[in-house]
Structure 1
Amino acid sequence: MPHADIVVVGAGAAGLSLTHRLCAGPGSGSPSVVLVDPPPGALRPPPRTWCYWEPPGGEYDSVLSASWERLRVRDAAGTATVAEPGRLRYKMLRSDAFEALVDARLGTAANVRRVEATVESARDAPGGGEVVAHDSGGGRLVLRARWIFDSRPPGRLPPARTTLLQHFTGWFVRTERPMFDPAVADLMDFRTPQPSHGLSFGYVLPLGPREALVEYTEFSRSMLSAEGYERALRHYTGEVLGLGAFSVSAVERGVIPMTDGRFPHRAGRSVFRIGTAGGATRPSTGYTFAAVQRQSRTVAARLRDGRPPRVPPPYRAWPRAMDAVMLRALDSGRVHGAEFFPGLFRRVPAERLLRFLDGTGRLYEDLLVGVRTPVLPMLRTVAELPLLARGHGPAVPFPHFPRTPEQEETDR
């Protein structure tokens, strides 16, 4: 007999968002749900930051760390372009605040329970699917359900013509003197030494005049060593930003796939992939959270209505095609990222550009963005793409960063 109508694997953005939308009040006839996530330890990711843009008044506004009405991009020479994206706000949400919000809802939901276990597999079984896991004591656990939604990162990226990694390390800093403008977020600051392949930039999200998240980010084929990120951040905070003395309260690290490979939305008759595993990451930018919300809304609505689930593609065919061109142009060196992105922000109205980066623009809007890119290199790339084979995706695309002493202490 099934343990639930639905099992959701993983309590990251995708798993929490879908479970949150499936919550029901006492006495509801909504489907029963089991949310499975690892117990505290090395397999549970540390707190992280999700950013997205939408109008004010969003459903998570009450737990935002900050939001900004103005966005700034600096080219390699330091020339700044400040964009005011009309109705949109750039929003920063910490994963621990989001989880606390969802946990409060789960505590009152009659149809949801949460299980701490490490999942080994999620697969089809007679009458639906089954999740095989083990608990913190090593005991074997089998959960059966009609439908399974698996948000675990895949062990290998899908075959692709172009695969880059967006990898970064950030510090939550507090300076001795006021150094930040809380009204402006720096999306890309190209006053960083550029790597021989790909691009790098700084990223500054002010939380107050003396507090900010400061990150060093690269788009490239491989990651740096821990010492490499440390050197890059020391250079950016000291030589570029001139922050002076500051303390670091937390460290954030991550790696995001940027690929034109096609992520399958199903892993069986009853097993679906969601989140990054289901293609929710925008290949050309790495943004994921907004697409996860669109995906989870659609899936939850069908399940609540008693219809067979369907995980919709987070992005239409046209944005995916433009992503493939942009990634190939960056990877081949036909366009120089430190010139390309500042140029877009100078030439394209901010609200239109943000819709393009989020994959929600209309076709004519995306075309208007496209003609503001280096046309000849892009056309050469368009002609080349059909001739390129899709190579095997790299294994272990989401490596685990070493956990900090503070994270280990929290686990204990």
Structure 2
Amino acid sequence: MRPVEVDLALVGFGGAAALVLSALTTPLRVAVIDPAGMDATDSKRRTWAFWTGATDELDPVLDAQWAGVDLFGPSGKKQRLDLSPMRYAMVRSEPIFALAADAAGRLTTHTVVANVGDLVDNGSSVDVLDDGGTSVLRARWVLDSRPVKPARPGRTFWLQHFRGWWVRSETPVFDPESAVLMDFRTPQPAHGVSFGYVLPTSANTALIEYTEFSPRRLGDSAYDVALRAYARQLGVGNVIVDEVEDGAIPMTDAPFERRPSARVVRIGTAGGATRPSTGYTFSAMRRQATQIAELIRTGRDPVPDAAYPRRHLWMDSVALHAWDSGLVSAPEFFERLFLRNPPDRVLRFLDGRTSPAEELALMGSTPLVPMARSAVRNLRHRSAG
């Protein structure tokens, strides 16, 4: 039987694919291929936080937003950072998937429930095969968001790994006016860095997370132990946990192959949307989705630009090596970065939107001598490679 033919196939349906689908405005034939289809299963539920300006098209579906964030340094000192003219915003995955479902209704959308195996690119179209080798459809273009290994090893491979609890407290202990961006009062691992993270939705409710940047994940129970200790530190007494979120995001200077063949384009983390030095991904996924939709609207190939400038990726590589080798304390690095620069400059840097002059100022606020040593080692490593 002749396979279904479409203009665009989205392989894997998570945040990256949902954002692309919801951004599309051009009438075209679309297919979504995923083991769960377009159902918002528990494994797909996420909470995303991102920086944005005074207005944002996602404003109607935000769960919370904050004009300021708190930073607790290694000494325990609290600093309130005014983010103006920006703000920190939180959105849960359910409304993002709902926007994608609305878009699917406007477009001619096929949903295929299958595990995808090979993508066979013949130059003018791509045959999408299931894991049994059967062609399930043919597409002019494929956007693939499935997890993938880097194209080659990098110098440093860490993970941002975390567990979050959506909690209710019997007493009002949270400040709904400010999120806690990084709280370094948590016990620090021997190799890596840990911090707490709090996204309050009211004085009694919040998402609290225990996060580590380190080479490997913890045992399952260790996250709960760390979260209980952090909840006590926050003053949450009889904590009621309504939901649990887990995740592990690559933090590496290893490159990802963003376009494995002529008509297959990777998006999301697989397409380089994850910032190596922080694990932040959502803003870059949105940029990719917006650009892809505009390219399709204007009749061009749906191949988005790199998520971050090459110079930013080099700086991330230097920072990762500095932390991994012990040249620089990551808590000290982030504390100095935020406290010695205007917050909006730091936030734009994390999104890859600063100028070289601003980046020189940012670099100058970090521990200069050990960072310079890391940069020299990085250059030697690249020359040897």
Q: TM-score, normalised by structure 2?
A: 0.94
CA displacement 1:212-268 (0-9 Å, x = unmatched): 000000000011011111111111111x21211110000000001001111111111
2:95 pairs with one of 94, 97, 120: 97
Structure 2 CA distance for aligned equivalents of residues 273 and 123 of structure 1: 15
1:208–1:260: structure 2 CA closer, same or farther, 3 Å change rule?
A: same
Partner of 1:301: 294
Q: For the residues of structure 1 that align with 2:300 and 2:148, how far apart are their CA atoms? A: 27
> Unaligned stretches of 5+ in structure 2?
none
What is the DSSP-based 3-state SS (H/G/I as helix, E as strand, rest coil) of the residue aligned with 2:249? strand
**Deviation (angstroms), 1:45:** 2.2
Q: 1:150 to 1:15 in 2, by over 3 A?
A: same
- Which secondary structure does the structure 1 equivalent of 2:201 belong to? strand
- Give the SS at the match of 2:98: helix
Aligned counterpart, 2:345: 352
Do the aligned partners of 2:40 and 2:97 also contact (CA within 8 Å) in 1?
Answer: no
CA contact under 8 A between 1:123 and 1:271: conserved in structure 2?
A: no
Deviation at 1:372, TM superposition (A): 0.2
Equivalents in 2 of 1:328, 1:241: separation in Å?
32
Contact 1:31 1:304 in 2 (8 A): no
Question: Which of 110, 115, 131 lines up with 2:128 in the alignment?
Answer: 131
Q: Alignment partner for residue 109 of structure 2, among 96, 102, 112?
A: 112
Cα distance in structure 1, aligned partners of 2:336 and 2:123 = 55
| Segments ≥4 residues shifted beyond 6 Å | 40-44, 389-392
CA distance in 2, matches of 1:100, 1:158: 36
One-letter identity of the residue aligned with 1:61: D
Are 2:304 and 1:311 equivalent residues in the alignment? yes
Structure 1 distance, partners of 2:384, 2:63, is: 40
Does residue 165 of structure 1 match 2:167? Answer: no
Whole-Å separation in 1 of the counterparts to 2:209 and 2:239: 15
Relative to structure 1, the CA distance from residue 195 to residue 153 in structure 2 (aligned partners, 3 Å threshold; closer, same or farther) is: same
Deviations 1:381-403 (A, max 9, x none): 111112226999xxxxxxxxxxx
Aligned partner of 2:268 among 260, 275, 278: 275
Aligned pairs (5 A) from 1:211-230: 211-230=205-224
Cα distance in 2 for partners of 1:91, 1:362 equals 24
CA contact (8 A) 1:164 1:259 kept: yes
Tell me the equivalent position of 2:43.
45
* CA-based RMSD: 2.2
Distance 1:162 1:230 in 2: 27
Q: State the TM-score, normalizing by the size of structure 1.
A: 0.88
* CA offset digits 1:334-363 (Å, max 9, x no partner): 111122212222111111111111111111
- Residue deviations 1:180-235 (CA, integer Å, cap 9, x gap): 00010001000111000010000000010000000000000011011111111111
**Cα distance in 2 for residues equivalent to 1:184 and 1:223:** 29
Identity of aligned residues (%): 43
State the 1:156 CA deviation: 5.3
Residue 34 of structure 1: SS of its match in structure 2?
A: strand
Distance 1:315 1:226, change over 3 A: same
Cα shift at 1:89:
1.1
Aligned to 2:7: 5
Tell me the amino acid that sits aligned with residue 56 of structure 2.
Answer: G
Q: CA 1:390–1:91 in structure 2 vs 1: closer, same or farther (change >3 Å)?
A: farther
Choose from 81, 84, 106 the match for 1:83: 81
Aligned positions, number: 382
Q: Cα distance 1:158–1:248, how it changes in 2: closer, same or farther (>3 A)?
A: farther
Q: 2:197 aligns with which of 196, 203, 215?
A: 203
1:81-102 Cα distance to aligned partner (Å, 9 max, x none): 1111111111111111210122
Partner of 1:372: 365
Tell me how far apart the structure 1 counterparts of residues 66 and 118 of structure 2 sit (CA, whole Å). Answer: 41
Q: Is the 8 A contact 1:263 1:278 kept in 2?
A: yes
Q: Cα distance 1:383–1:174, how it changes in 2: closer, same or farther (>3 A)?
A: same
